[in-house]
Amino acid sequence: MKKLLFALQFVFYSVYSQSIKVTTVNGLKDKDANYLLDFMDVSLQKFHFEGDQLIGKSPTILIKEFRDGKLVRTDTLLNGKGDAKYLQIKEAKYSFSFFTEIRNEKLRTFIRHSSYGAGKREFALNKDKYGYALKDFFGAKQELLYDAKDQIPLLAIITPHDQGNGFASYCEVVQTDILPEDLGKHFGIPHYFLVYISF
């Protein structure tokens, strides 16, 4: 029995020590500041990552555009693959804020870390009767665990799943077990973006 318990502890430690814990917070603490963000059609999502595997790594953040279920474009929002020493993570924690503005058939993004920012980027959106929304993949979960080698999906900028009965759902799309890159095919969403991070 002791051997089994030791083996289980070893497996748990091995898996957990290779994992990155991801948590997120929407918006700001100040209500009035959140009202201002709403007025400006700006969303703010703060991401926090924890894990020993982060030390010495640099983040790369990508945005992928999908049309009719097919990947049509990948853009690098933050490039950790170069020689930029300022991107290198020095401890087992890393955080950044991701801003989006969705207005006039345009998506604008901006990334802000306490030490640096990634330039504003702009992407064209389709006209849609429901409009696009920013959604994360947490659902009711407080945290998610990923392997340190994974490309971690953070956000979807999507139109909702039209249920065919006069109703449409954004949450149904991102709170399923469907792989993020397959959302368009599965739910019949003609155009959407996914944001990923890797270390």
Q: Is pLDDT of 28 > 90? A: no
Radius of gyration of the chain from Cα atoms? Answer: 18
In which band, very low, low, confident or very high, does the pLDDT at 14 lie, cut at 50, 70 and 90?
Answer: very low
* pLDDT at 18 (0 to 100): 82
Comparing 1-10, 63-72, 89-98, 179-188, which segment has the lowest mean pLDDT? 1-10
Q: Is pLDDT of 11 > 60? A: no
Residue 180 neighbours by CB under 8 Å, 6+ apart: 137, 153, 156, 174, 194
C-alpha to C-alpha distance for 19 and 61, rounded to whole angstroms:
18
Q: Is pLDDT of 12 > 60? A: no
pTM for this structure? 0.85
In which band, very low, low, confident or very high, does the pLDDT at 2 lie, cut at 50, 70 and 90?
Answer: low
Give me the residue spans of the domains in the chain: 18-198
- Write out pLDDT tens, residues 57-110: 999 999 999 999 999 999 999 999 877 888 999 999 999 999 999 999 999 999
DSSP 160: P
